[in-house]
Amino acid sequence: MSSLDIKHLNKSYGSVQVLHDINLEIPENAFVVFVGPSGCGKSTLLRSIAGLEEIDSGEIILEGRDVAKEAPVDRDFAMVFQSYALYPQMTVRDNIGFALSVAGRPKAEIHRKVDEVAQMLRLTEYLDRKPADLSGGQRQRVAIGRAILRSPKAFLFDEPLSNLDAELRVDMRLQIAELRRQMSATFIYVTHDQVEAMTLADQIVVLRAGRIEQVGSPMELYHHPANSFVASFIGSPKMNLLSVADLGLAGESAATLGVRPEHLSIGADGALEGTIAAIENLGPVSYAYVDVRGARVTVQLPPAHGFALEEAVKIGWADDALHRFDAEGRRI
């Protein structure tokens, strides 16, 4: 498909405006992920693109025409929901082939295409089952298969993996990445999950309270966050945001210093003095949570560290690891 261009999109529910002047260009065949805190408007933006929500004003330009007032079916996007939305009385084969049978395609063609997609999604052995007899991950793959068979202009995913357990999520995440490699199509994907956003996206769109804070590749956002909100939102564990005034950091013109846990050193030297309040040993890495003048600073430790709770430590950093933000939180 050609690119999707969203211009000056506004959306309210009743008197409450939830999307404010959204401008976003989604390139052809991009994988774009919307992230942001709960309630920031990710799903509403996706549903507005799909045509499931009526917008107050703005344009949604697809293949050179404004589809903002068109019915969902005419926009021709395939939406994959967190709840799967499968037909319970139909077999997996009939669920996947549904769009083609509705379109009146010949049975042999539908059979062949369903077989192809089932193979791609590792569903071949389940084709005769009903959705109730499948696991959550299998159901989600059926929902994705059904979307693929529609050959839509774009795939819109609304938190598709959030009902799955941790292990299945990882598996499905890899499958979605693989699907993406096999198909040239545009994907727009809403998630809460940092790792999904970082690993799947070409472009991450960070939303906050109905406004776009930053658009960029995962690494751009990680290394050059435009403001302290994006800085603290992208990356897990979060970037430390240190108040220059509260911590009495002399000779510093920024209001806030941002530094990631992996860029802090801990030991006998450093600008900050604190006490270790908690340690989490995760195996490949460990994290120390250090209380420094009322602030809590997260520091990544090597796996074989000798630190203990209540230990007094100093925290230091290299200057090139710092992100500097002004009093409004903007990157300096």
Name the site residues for ligand ATP (rule: CB under 6 A): 13, 18, 36, 38-44, 192
Amino acid at 320: D
**Nearer residue to ligand ATP within complex by CB, 18 or 204:** 18
Burial (0-12, 13-18, 19+ Cβ within 10 Å), 264: buried
Give pairs for 49-53: CB < 8 Å, separation 24+: 49/4, 49/6, 49/75, 49/77, 49/156, 49/188, 50/75, 50/77, 50/79, 50/156, 51/75, 51/77, 52/79, 53/11
C-alpha angle with apex 275: 273 to 278, nearest 5 degrees? Answer: 140
In the complex, the smallest distance separating the C-beta of residue 85 from ligand ATP, rounded to whole angstroms, is: 16
What CA–CA distances, in Å, run from 195 to 25, 71, 114? Answer: 23, 33, 31
> Residue 78: which of 174, 168, 150, 170 has the closest Cα?
150
C-alpha angle with apex 221: 219 to 327, nearest 5 degrees? Answer: 145
* Cβ atoms of residues 174 and 206 within 8 Å: no
* Cβ atoms of residues 17 and 175 within 8 Å: no
Residue with tokens 């009146």: 104
Residue with tokens 């992100």: 323
**Nearer residue to ligand ATP within complex by CB, 159 or 297:** 159
Residue 306 CA to residue 302 CA, distance in Å, equals 9
In the complex, the smallest distance separating the C-beta of residue 218 from ligand ATP, rounded to whole angstroms, is: 19
In the complex, the smallest distance separating the C-beta of residue 48 from ligand ATP, rounded to whole angstroms, is: 9
In the complex, the smallest distance separating the C-beta of residue 232 from ligand ATP, rounded to whole angstroms, is: 17
**Nearer residue to ligand ATP within complex by CB, 145 or 210:** 210
**Nearer residue to ligand ATP within complex by CB, 232 or 265:** 232
Burial (0-12, 13-18, 19+ Cβ within 10 Å), 77: buried
In the complex, the smallest distance separating the C-beta of residue 174 from ligand ATP, rounded to whole angstroms, is: 23
**Nearer residue to ligand ATP within complex by CB, 18 or 100:** 18
**Nearer residue to ligand ATP within complex by CB, 47 or 141:** 47
**Nearer residue to ligand ATP within complex by CB, 27 or 39:** 39
**Nearer residue to ligand ATP within complex by CB, 15 or 253:** 15
Mapped onto helix, strand or coil, the DSSP state of residue 330 is strand
In the complex, the smallest distance separating the C-beta of residue 80 from ligand ATP, rounded to whole angstroms, is: 15
In the complex, the smallest distance separating the C-beta of residue 210 from ligand ATP, rounded to whole angstroms, is: 7
* Cβ atoms of residues 120 and 135 within 8 Å: no
In the complex, the smallest distance separating the C-beta of residue 258 from ligand ATP, rounded to whole angstroms, is: 24
